[in-house]
Amino acid sequence: MKKIIIKLLLSFSFLILIFFGSCVKKIITIQKGDKAYEKGNYYEARNYYEKATQIDSASYYANLKMGLILIEDLNEIDESLPYLQRAVRHRRKKDTIPDILKAFGDYCFYAGAYNKAQKFYKNIDDVIIDNGIRSDVDHRVENIGFALSHPDKNKKSIATIMNLGYQVNSYFAEYNSVFDHNEKRFYYTARRPENTGFSCDKWDGKYFEDMYVAEHINRFNFSEAENFTKHAHEVSQIKNTKKHDAVVAISDNDSILFSFKNNLIYISKFENGNWTEPEKMDKKVNKGKYQNHISISPDNKNIYYSSNKRGGYGGLDLYAIHLQNDNTWTKPINLGPEINTPEDEESVEILHDNKTILFASKGLPGYGGYDMFMIKKEGQDAYSQPVNLGPQINSPSDDIYMKLDSTMTEGFISSSRRGGYGDMDIYRFYFLNKPNFNKCNSNIAELDSILNQSISSKIKLNDSAKIDVSGIKEIYSHPVLYYFWKFDNQILQCDTSFNYITADKKGVHQLDLQFVAQCDTCYERLTYCFSKSLTVYDKEISDTLEEKPIDPLASITLNPIYFYFNKFNIRNDAKPVLNENIVQLLKHENARIKIYAHCDSRGSHQYNLMLAAKRAEAAVNYLLKNNIPRERIVALIPLGEQEIKNGCGDGVKCSEKEHQLNRRVDFQLESINLKD
């Protein structure tokens, strides 16, 4: 019996030694992780915390620290959830609940579940002691308030955003991409362990930046990227160092490449097929301790950049300098408190129209992290109010370094959003709601045939001819989202499946159409384009081209209907008039009509044309519902305020009764088609 007891005691002691040994090993491993974290070595800290969870998968601290470093420092949002869930399951009463609540709040925030995140943050509001954590939570709550009050109001997708893939992106951070304008070379910045310095920056715990170049094969295919230092071709003079080296921007004519070194902006010139060794820009730009981004206008006369120089509004601010007539540059001008905030503003980019400016901000109201904003130049140093680009572009994470091509319909953006390969990835995006007639990737014979048959090749001078393309609803089984129209190289401001075309000159005119479809799996905009020549004839000449038969309907009158101010619905008192008109049309089944729609002079000319079109459509719909075939309606002509009856034009004071006479739809009988 004694032997059994001794054996049991020895076994129990052995188990205790194993248990305490395991505990000690776990504690030491967590402590090593903490030391690495304090030094800014986040990747090393991550490895220690992961080892600690392998030693003891039920450890509250190991799981919490692993979850926190993944979500807060390494942008591995989805990977953090299992560790946070285990920390909750194994939490003891004495363990700090605020850490868990904030971690879950952050997870929900980055996942875009703003309502859930708000609940977690609210529960820890009264127990936060650390001012840094409180400031962070307060800022997130502000983001949530903005996001909930600014949901996506677009009924249709306005953009397609796609990750460039493994040929460019990795587990580590890639960002700030620059294409030359022939789209042959693709330059970007990456923070990878194989970079020149092989070490991390203690400030943020990530590897130092290096510049990379890849050959662009086609839309989403690139050659294997090479480090600038190892590249033997055009960038061989731009060496990466052991510290930060980043690609910044390229001039519109590909003659200047801007780079970031030693916290300053450098330029290289393209000479004899190669980029020259970088030279530091002068103190008009490099005046503060830190300048990290720059953009030059297409005419090379305006430079915009970010700097933390003294006299700003806090953090990084945006500045401008302008080229003067004597070829000298003005002093730097801060873009002002409407744009700059106590937080950081950077990644400024002036676009090819020389008016639109994009930039990223942490301080302006947004959806989380850096958001992209747009302003317009309204003078030398005057700008419109910043406009957030919305939730289809901005995510709860950082969205920054947005660049557009010369058409301003596609480009690149760097983002830490969920679903990427790692820390930050480079994405290509296409605006769906903007026309680009130079890039049509689909020519479909079947659709060409439909449109050629449905669109007449002849229209009368000064007539408003309706062109309806609603028969085109899909492109390769993908629904059409947007319709764009161009007539004689003028883009018409209309996104509908029908339009009214008016020509004020005789001869041959060009009509171009572009259809943009919704395709979430396509590597580029799915579009279809159609062009047709329209011959415009003089009314009198074209009317005499055909012999007119005697019109048996000459004695019949169709009465007009009237509308309320700024309305297009059919009034109750108009229905009996329409019904009588319908009786006359049903008696003479071969009669055809034109419908002319009018407005009074109040409102802009363009608005009244659109309102008149809606009134004409309302009248047509009433006729169609009452057995009048569409083919008997030969034209819908919205005239707006072009044919005012009683002199009540712009600026003329008239009574409501007088204005009423101009808010009408007229029905004009065309000659009857006599049957054989």
> In the chain, what are the domain boundaries?
33-95, 159-431, 445-541, 561-670
Written as six digits, the tokens of 437 are 């007639």
Is residue 227 within 8 Å of residue 240, measured between CB atoms?
A: yes
pLDDT of residue 676: 34
- In angstroms, the CA 579 to CA 573 distance is 11
- In angstroms, the CA 305 to CA 349 distance is 9
Question: Domain 561-670's class?
Answer: alpha beta
The sign of the CA dihedral 486, 487, 491, 497 is: negative
- In angstroms, the CA 444 to CA 478 distance is 14
Which residue numbers in the chain have pLDDT < 50? 8-10, 13-15, 17-20, 541-550, 674-676
Residue with tokens 């580029």: 524
DSSP 589: T
Torsion of CA 391, 393, 397, 399, to 10 degrees: -150
Q: Which of 80, 84, 146, 69 is nearest to 114 (CA)?
A: 146
- In angstroms, the CA 265 to CA 280 distance is 6
Topology match between the domains 159-431 and 445-541: no
Burial group, residue 36, by CB count within 10 angstroms (0-12, 13-18, 19+): buried
Is residue 378 within 8 Å of residue 384, measured between CB atoms?
A: yes
Q: How far is CA 114 from the centre of its chain?
A: 20
Q: How far is CA 79 from the centre of its chain?
A: 27
- In angstroms, the CA 187 to CA 178 distance is 5
CATH 3.40.800.10 fits 159-431, yes or no: no
- In angstroms, the CA 81 to CA 88 distance is 11
Q: How far is CA 420 from the centre of its chain?
A: 18
| Domain 445-541: which CATH number of 2.60.40.10, 3.40.710.10, 3.40.50.2000, 3.40.50.2300 | 2.60.40.10
pLDDT of residue 183: 77
pLDDT of residue 18: 45
pLDDT of residue 555: 56
Written as six digits, the tokens of 453 are 């048959």
| Domain 33-95: which CATH number of 1.25.40.10, 1.10.645.10, 1.20.5.510, 1.10.10.1800 | 1.25.40.10
Residue with tokens 């009463």: 93
Written as six digits, the tokens of 68 are 């926190």
pLDDT of residue 544: 47
As a whole number of Å, the end-to-end CA separation of the chain is: 124
Type of residue numbered 596: Y
pLDDT of residue 331: 94
Name residues whose C-beta falls within 8 Å of residue 28's C-beta, 6 or more positions apart in sequence: none
- In angstroms, the CA 137 to CA 134 distance is 5
Helix (H) or strand (E) run with residue 333 in it: strand 333-334
pLDDT of residue 2: 54
Strand partners, 25: none
pLDDT of residue 161: 93
- In angstroms, the CA 268 to CA 227 distance is 17
Q: What is the pTM of this model?
A: 0.75
Is residue 120 within 8 Å of residue 108, measured between CB atoms?
A: yes
pLDDT of 511-566, one tens digit each? 999 999 988 777 778 889 988 888 888 755 444 444 444 455 555 778 999 999 99
